[in-house]
């Protein structure tokens, strides 16, 4: 057992720091900076796609290097990026797409040119995703599918160019069979998007209606009826990403600084025993989960889907993210309730309650916590339900 | 021992319940929130016509002589509908300070208008650095020949944007956190040097920030005794805590009942969600939290209404428990509704937002536990 970073790792760390410093945003056209950043990262050694395997142009980092990257980018900040193409669809195409599909879609994903959205959930299929009903019927000549149905909670559907979509092609057999993984453009007739406003007041999710959308068969990933298997691997990828542990470490530092800026008596809020204790408990949990992630990183070899232990990371990681938001709201005191308009109170309080409300989704999307616990029950504890 | 409402209280409760059911559907509430002034002037008028605005004022002041138990009944029903009208600001807080310590002239000049709804009062006590403590008052009155001038800020003043006048706490002697040396004054909204910046809060209600720039306060404006305002302020805030606690109990009832109903309706894995034991037990706990809050609400309200020895401790205990339960009930209501729980379309999120604002008001959960233990 050894957790010291090697000399090579430390050199790498210095290199990453240098790169992030050199390319930090200094004002001006943010979108131009963003595109340039990814270009520079690519030139640096395929740092624009850290998690992609070497075969598909990734840097082939060791687990330690991934750890260093995560830690440093959380601190320095990186350009805005969407996970859907890069971290969700990408790995599915690499594992199950045809060579033609890989060549067609991966370069644009990598270049951040095409935005994707994830069309899994439906009004009747949330936690029980396999019960999805969006129908895809193969045309008589076998050239295309005709898609009809409704997706819900589709993040960024309103700005996405393409969707990767789970559809039902057969009702025979168990419900996990008969699901087919299709790719098609969002900006076409027959695709209608309705915004859903969430409690923070923002518009990120949508309901999406498909009526007679034609999808050429070459846009089917893998075999008809095997979409569930492909999607399951993808969900496990999503679950590690969602834990956001490096970000939480940075956010916790931020929380402490905020609390120190709030005056209480002769000291600050960080001197108030009850508040300080809550921050300390949070930090202890975070210290542990950081190493849970490291342990999981150490066993995962790059490119393969992380195993069921990733469920623990999502559960713990999202709990920590939510507690940080809650304590930040608390540190803002009653000013956290203001919806703009006030000058009094700390600046960070402005979005306090909005931020807290928005954080409630962390334990719902990407597999709700209760369902994650079911997975751990079955896959890790090995408990099978005994039907009587 | 008797926890039943009197016949009169039951009538009031029923009529408010009906009013809320008829007028406070989520859609109509959202429509009211979006339009200035952020509440319904028509409903406000109705409330005064039905006598609700006069409930906690003495008959001499033109009211109905009710006490904290009567307003508890009303606020609990308001909580079930997330009522937006400035009842707390004008009747409980602003009006509460005047009814306690106002002199005859002040009562005559203001209370009739407050009770008929044509005038509104608001309570301005919190400051940028006062934290959770009502006695933490930095706004200082500098002495003039016939009174004081005030320069500084009061913040998170409920419904300040529509208030006709403010009950303002300021310091006339002592250090920033001393309970003595606090004085209250009644300052009209149009007084020279006073500017009011109104803004909405996340629960859809209205708040404001007051900036005082050499605002003159004359002897006639002073409420009660110079240096002796804290007792009135504290009693008024205690009434505020009882009122929002009752509102929170009403809101929690909606949250747990909505969750029970939703889980029986929504099916996943070929079962209604209510078949899953983790959810069943969670809903039992939500229900328990609600019942516990209701018990402590009764206890604290009766203790305050009867001037009991334990009144202040009970108020601290209540505000603590309400805050703790609000997080538990709110978070779990949202979680159990899944994606639907985080949308503006369903009412659970709106009720939770109101609970969050209540938690942060009048001292938060930790503060009151600390005061309780002290
Ligand atoms: C902000 C946001 C963004 C999203 N983005 C996307 C996206 O881009 N693409 C996409 O496809 N989907 C997306 N989703 C959907 C998300 O994956 C679902 O919300 C999630 O799977 C839960 O489904 P549901 O909302 O239908 O809740 P339900 O499945 O109805 O669950 C409600 C509650 O019941 C619990 N529950 C369900 N089954 C059980 C059980 N067996 N035992 C115990 N408890 C149970 C759940 O844990 C939950 O607490 C998003 C959701 C949100 C909120």
CATH 2.40.110.10 segments of chain B = 122-228
CATH 1.10.540.10 segments of chain B = 7-118
Tokens of A205: 């999710």
Whether A96 is covered by a domain: the verdict is no
pLDDT tens-digit map of B31-59: 999 999 999 999 999 999 999 999 999 99
Percent of chain A with pLDDT over 70: 93
pLDDT band at B206 (very low <50, low <70, confident <90, very high): very high
Q: Which residues share a beta bridge with B197?
A: B209
Average of per-residue pLDDT across A310-337? 93
B278·A330 Cβ contact <8 A: no
B356·A353 Cβ contact <8 A: yes
Distance B47 CA to ligand 1 centre (A): 41
- For A54-96, strand residue ranges (E) read none
Tokens of A212: 């007679």
Q: Collapsing DSSP states into helix, strand and coil, what is residue B265? A: helix
In this structure, what DSSP letter does residue B5 have? P
Residue B313 in contact with residue B368, Cβ under 8 Å? Answer: no
pLDDT band at A242 (very low <50, low <70, confident <90, very high): low
Res. A233: pLDDT tops 80: no
Res. A238: pLDDT tops 60: no
B335·A368 Cβ contact <8 A: yes
Res. A134: pLDDT tops 60: yes
Question: HSE of A38 in the Cβ direction (CA atoms, 13 Å)?
Answer: 19
Whether A323 is covered by a domain: the verdict is yes
- Among the partner-chain residues A199, A274, A334, the one whose CB lies closest to the CB of B342 is A199
pLDDT value of position A302: 46
Closest-CA distance of chain B to residue A33, Å = 34
Residue B192 in contact with residue B216, Cβ under 8 Å? Answer: yes
Question: Does A252 share its domain with A376?
Answer: yes
Domains of chain A: total: 3
Distance B277 CA to ligand 1 centre (A): 18
Strand bridging mode B165-171 / B121-124? parallel
Residue A63 in contact with residue A297, Cβ under 8 Å? Answer: yes
pLDDT value of position B50: 95
Question: Does A164 share its domain with A273?
Answer: no
Whether A2 is covered by a domain: the verdict is no
pLDDT tens-digit map of B136-175: 999 999 999 999 999 999 999 999 999 999 999 999 999 9
- Counting beta carbons within 10 angstroms of the beta carbon of residue A289, is it exposed (0 to 12), middle (13 to 18) or buried (19 or more)? buried
B366·A333 Cβ contact <8 A: no
B226 vs A380, which has greater pLDDT?
B226
pLDDT tens-digit map of B301-352: 999 999 999 999 999 999 999 999 999 999 999 999 999 999 999 999 999 9
Res. A303: pLDDT tops 70: no
Question: Does A205 share its domain with A255?
Answer: no
Phi then psi for A273, rounded to 5 degrees?
-55, -45
Of A371, A377, A383, best ligand 1 pocket probe by most atoms within 8 Å of the beta carbon: A371
CA distance B148 to B166: 16
pLDDT value of position A301: 47
- Among the partner-chain residues B276, B334, B364, the one whose CB lies closest to the CB of A360 is B334
CA distance B62 to A355: 45
Tokens of B94: 């602003």
Question: Does A270 share its domain with A318?
Answer: yes
Average of per-residue pLDDT across A293-297? 78
Q: Domain range holding A198?
A: 116-225
Distance B30 CA to ligand 1 centre (A): 26
Question: Does A251 share its domain with A200?
Answer: no
CA distance B160 to B186: 13
Question: Does A218 share its domain with A248?
Answer: no
CA distance B127 to A343: 11
Percent of chain A with pLDDT over 90: 72
pLDDT tens-digit map of B236-274: 999 999 999 999 999 999 999 999 999 999 999 999 999
Res. A305: pLDDT tops 50: yes
Question: Does A164 share its domain with A268?
Answer: no
- Among the partner-chain residues B177, B197, B201, the one whose CB lies closest to the CB of A339 is B201
Question: Does A40 share its domain with A129?
Answer: no
Question: Does A66 share its domain with A143?
Answer: no
B132·A263 Cβ contact <8 A: no
Assigned CATH topology for domain B7-118: Butyryl-Coa Dehydrogenase, subunit A; domain 1 (1.10.540)
Q: What is the mean pLDDT of chain A?
A: 91
pLDDT value of position A308: 61
CA distance B127 to B131: 8
Domain end residue (candidates: A225, A257, A276): A225
CATH 1.20.140.10 segments of chain B = 231-373
Quick one: chain B helix, strand, coil %, rounded to 5? Answer: 55, 15, 30
Question: Does A307 share its domain with A373?
Answer: yes
pLDDT value of position A352: 85
Ligand 1 first shell, C-beta below 6 A: A 117-121, 126-127, 153-155, 205, 361, 364-366, 368, 370-371, 374; B 266, 268-269, 273, 276, 278-279, 335-336, 338-339, 342
User: Which atom of ligand 1 lies closest to the CA of A156?
Assistant: 8
- How far is residue A292 from each of residues A63, A314, A316, A319, A365, measured CA to CA in Å? 13, 11, 10, 14, 22
Question: Does A363 share its domain with A253?
Answer: yes
CA distance A297 to A70: 12
pLDDT value of position B44: 98
Lowest mean pLDDT among A17-21, A41-45, A72-76, A211-215: A72-76
Which CATH superfamily groups domain B122-228? Answer: Butyryl-CoA Dehydrogenase, subunit A, domain 2 (2.40.110.10)
CA B233 to chain centre: 14
CATH number of the domain that A176 lies in? Answer: 2.40.110.10
pLDDT value of position A4: 76
Q: How is A325-352 classified by DSSP, letter by letter?
A: HHHHHHHTGGGGGB-S---SS-GGGGGH
Domain B231-373 is in which class? mainly alpha
Question: Does A307 share its domain with A348?
Answer: yes
């Amino acid at each position: 057992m050894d957790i010291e970073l090697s000399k090579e790792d430390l050199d790498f760390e210095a290199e990453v720091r240098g790169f992030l410093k050199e390319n930090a945003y200094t004002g001006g056209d943010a979108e131009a900076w963003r595109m340039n950043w990814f270009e520079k990262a690519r030139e640096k050694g395929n740092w624009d796609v850290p998690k992609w395997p070497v075969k598909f142009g990734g840097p082939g980092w060791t687990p330690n290097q991934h750890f260093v990257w995560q830690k440093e980018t959380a601190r320095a900040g990186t350009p805005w990026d969407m996970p859907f193409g890069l971290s969700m669809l990408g790995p599915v195409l690499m594992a199950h797409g045809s060579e033609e599909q890989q060549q067609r879609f991966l370069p644009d994903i990598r270049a951040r040119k095409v935005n994707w959205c994830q069309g899994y959930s439906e009004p009747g299929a949330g936690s029980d995703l396999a019960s999805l009903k969006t129908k895809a019927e193969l045309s008589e000549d076998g050239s295309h599918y005709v898609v009809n149905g409704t997706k819900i909670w589709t993040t960024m559907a309103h700005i996405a160019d393409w969707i990767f979509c789970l559809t039902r092609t057969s009702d025979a057999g168990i419900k996990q069979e008969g699901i087919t993984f299709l790719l098609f453009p969002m900006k076409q007739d027959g695709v209608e998007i309705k915004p859903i406003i969430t409690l923070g007041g923002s518009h990120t999710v949508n309901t999406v209606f498909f009526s007679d959308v034609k999808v050429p068969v070459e846009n089917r990933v893998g075999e008809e009826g095997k979409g569930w298997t492909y999607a399951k691997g993808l969900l496990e990828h999503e679950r590690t990403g969602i834990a956001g542990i490096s970000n939480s470490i940075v956010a916790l530092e931020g929380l402490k600084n905020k609390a120190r800026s709030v005056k209480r008596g002769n000291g600050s809020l960080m001197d108030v025993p009850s508040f300080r204790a809550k921050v300390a408990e949070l930090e202890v949990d975070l210290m542990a989960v950081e190493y849970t992630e490291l342990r999981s990183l150490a066993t995962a070899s790059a490119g393969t889907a992380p195993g069921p232990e990733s469920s623990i990371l999502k559960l713990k990681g999202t709990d920590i993210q939510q507690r940080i938001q809650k304590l930040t709201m608390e540190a803002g005191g009653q000013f956290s309730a203001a919806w703009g308009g006030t000058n009094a109170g700390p600046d960070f309080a402005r979005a306090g309650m909005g931020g807290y409300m928005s954080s409630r989704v962390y334990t719902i999307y990407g597999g709700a916590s209760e369902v994650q616990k079911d997975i751990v029950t079955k896959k890790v504890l090995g408990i099978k339900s005994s039907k009587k | 021992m008797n926890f039943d409402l009197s016949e009169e209280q039951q009538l009031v409760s029923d009529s408010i319940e009906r009013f809320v059911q008829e007028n406070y559907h989520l859609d109509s509430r959202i429509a009211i929130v979006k339009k200035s002034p952020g509440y319904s002037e028509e409903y406000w008028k109705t409330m005064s016509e039905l006598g609700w605005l006069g409930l906690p004022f003495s008959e001499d002041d033109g009211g109905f002589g009710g006490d904290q138990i009567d307003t508890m009944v009303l606020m609990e029903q308001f909580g079930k509908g997330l009522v937006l009208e400035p009842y707390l600001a004008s009747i409980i807080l602003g009006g509460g300070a005047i009814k306690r310590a106002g002199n005859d002239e002040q009562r005559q000049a203001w209370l009739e208008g407050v009770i008929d709804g044509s005038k509104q009062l608001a309570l301005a006590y919190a400051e940028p650095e006062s934290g959770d403590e009502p006695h933490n008052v930095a706004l200082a009155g500098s002495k003039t020949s016939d009174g004081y001038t005030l320069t500084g800020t009061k913040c998170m003043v409920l419904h300040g944007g529509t208030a006709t006048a403010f009950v303002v706490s300021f310091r006339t002697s002592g250090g920033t956190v001393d309970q003595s040396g606090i004085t209250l004054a009644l300052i009209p909204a149009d007084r020279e040097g006073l500017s009011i910046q109104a803004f909405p809060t996340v629960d859809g209600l209205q708040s404001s920030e007051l900036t005082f720039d050499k605002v003159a306060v004359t002897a006639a404006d002073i409420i009660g005794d110079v240096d002796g305002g804290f007792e009135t302020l504290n009693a008024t805030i205690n009434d505020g805590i009882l009122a929002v606690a009752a509102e929170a109990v009403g809101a929690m009832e909606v949250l747990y009942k909505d969750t029970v109903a939703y889980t029986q309706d929504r099916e996943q894995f070929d079962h209604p969600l209510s078949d899953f034991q983790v959810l069943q037990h969670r809903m039992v706990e939500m229900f328990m939290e609600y019942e516990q809050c209701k018990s402590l609400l009764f206890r604290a309200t009766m203790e305050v209404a009867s001037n009991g020895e334990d009144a202040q401790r009970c108020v601290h205990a209540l505000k603590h428990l309400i805050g703790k339960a609000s997080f538990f009930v709110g978070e779990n209501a949202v979680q159990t509704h899944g994606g639907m729980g985080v949308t503006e379309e369903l009412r659970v999120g709106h009720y939770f937002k109101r609970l969050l604002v209540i938690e942060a008001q009048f001292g938060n959960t930790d503060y009151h536990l600390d005061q309780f233990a002290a």
